[in-house]
Copies of this chain bind each other. A is one copy, B any other.
Amino acid sequence: MSDNTVKPGILSGFMELLPDEQAVFDEMKRTLSEVFRSYGFVGLDTPVLERTEILLAKGGGETEKQVYRFDRGDTDITMRYDLTVPLARYVAMRYPDLSFPFKRYQIGKVYRGERSQKGRFREFYQCDIDIIGDGKLDIINEAECPSVMCNALHALGIDDFQIRINNRKILNGLFTIFGASDKKTEILRTIDKYEKIGRDNVIEGLTDLGVDKDKAGEMLDFVTFAGSNDEIIAKLESLAGKDPLFDEGVSDLKTVIGAMGAFGCDEKNYRIDLSIARGLDYYTGTVFETCFLPDPSIGSICSGGRYDDLAGYFTDRQLPGVGMSIGLTRLFYILSEKGYLNKQNAAPADVLVLPMTDDTLGAVSVSADLRKAGVRVQVYAEQKKFKKKMEYANKLGIPFVVLLGEDEIKEGKVSLKNMESGEQAMYTVEEAAELVKSTVSSKSRTKCVTVK
């Protein structure tokens, strides 16, 4: 390389894909959008840059240290680090122009300057759905969100997952019932560590927080009770009448679980898990995590919950909502690492047209005709040896090649070669288009992800 060139590279912690991977990623985004749109969610696209006082209105904490922030003239600017704060700002600002419930999805890049590590990205796609009410929001929406995500994951080809559902009112009520109503946040945080640190350490943590040791054990038995949804509901109902918040939570949970089936969600894809706490201050009702069963260690692939006050930093209006989010870049990275991505449909075209005479215009015309018939077509017009041209089709995984030599031109036909089977025959352009389309459409039923 000469002295005046710069070595090309990208910043560490940024994902950039090769074309075949990008094709799968884009197809995943398209699939998710289509599912969200089929439920009446509208796409939103907020600016990547916002005033820092907006994005950090809540202020403090880890977030503030991680954001990309800079001054421009007199303006203190920050790159968005999630899609929820911009949504809150949007809804508060556009309130008069919106109809509620307001259902929006957003698939967009967010930025966090975290310490760089394998599988963690500084620029990554979040994929969010939220339903926002004006003042009130019906409980049925708390079943719709996980149902949408259930459908979305299936559409991607991810079938082996379980959405774990809990309700924060139940946890908070339970703490009251078991005489642990002080330090609820700390108790939640301790219970949240159950899977990581084990029962004994959690009990020790709870007694340190002033909970009676026996009660801590009882409480833990409760939240870690493993049974069917009906068994867990029955166990919860055994405590009915002791705390109004608890009772409300149980009623909500029953409604949500009862509605999942009506939304078309398969019973094997959701279950109650009373140990799910999900974050700390934000959620007020139903909470969700999603376990990827082939590898639970990767953590939740889709999470969210109900909140009562979306935009309190921007408006006095009460805007309750429910939302769920997929960390799409991280999910893609994991699926890719594990070899679960299906690149079978990643070819940039269905047909590569090879002109076999000096005149390329005939090939161009054929490509235009095939394209009109709904086929994705690329013309290869470069002056290369035949072998090189076929290698190009092979390398890109293009399933069909059309050869256009003097014989074909004379007969007004094309030679169509199936690159997989090796079969080759002459057809009219219309016949060739039909053959390609029927073959490709049966292939394209293959989904983005194939878990082996």
Contacts and interface: CB of A to CB of B under 8 A. Distances in A.
Contacts of A111: 48-49
Most buried by B among A39, A113, A315: A39
Interface string A366-396: 0110011001111111110000000010011
A178 interface: no
A2 interface: yes
A41 interface: yes
Nearest to A99: B395
A37 interface: yes
A316 B4 CA distance: 10
Contacts of A49: 11, 14, 68, 111, 123
Contact of A140 (B19, B39, B45, B360): B360
Given A5-B313, A377-B40, A48 B94 contact: no
Contact of A10 (B9, B44, B47, B372): B47
Contacts of A356: none
Contact of A101 (B2, B25, B382): B382
Most buried by B among A104, A136, A371: A371
B376 A37 contact: yes
Nearest to A133: B382
Interface in A1-46: 1-2, 4-11, 14-19, 22-23, 25-26, 37-46
A267 interface: no
Contacts of A312: 5
A136 B22 contact: no
B48 A123 contact: yes
Interface string A40-76: 1111111111110110010000000000101010010
Contacts of A185: none
A22 B45 contact: yes
Interface string A299-318: 00000000000011111100
A109 B311 CA distance: 27
Contacts of A292: none
Interface string A96-110: 011101111000010
Contacts of A259: 360-361, 364
21 contacts: A6-B53, A8-B314, A10-B93, A11-B51, A16-B45, A16-B46, A16-B47, A18-B97, A18-B98, A19-B44, A22-B43, A23-B42, A40-B376, A41-B348, A42-B348, A49-B111, A99-B392, A99-B396, A140-B381, A143-B364, A262-B364
Given A9-B93, A17-B45, A264-B372, 11 more contacts: A6-B313, A8-B90, A10-B50, A10-B51, A37-B348, A40-B349, A68-B70, A101-B382, A138-B360, A143-B364, A259-B361
Interface of A: 1-2, 4-11, 14-19, 22-23, 25-26, 37-51, 53-54, 57, 68, 70, 72, 75, 77, 89-90, 92-94, 97-99, 101-104, 109, 111, 113, 123, 133, 136-138, 140-141, 143-144, 258-259, 262-264, 311-316, 348-349, 352, 360-362, 364-365, 367-368, 371-372, 375-383, 392, 395-396
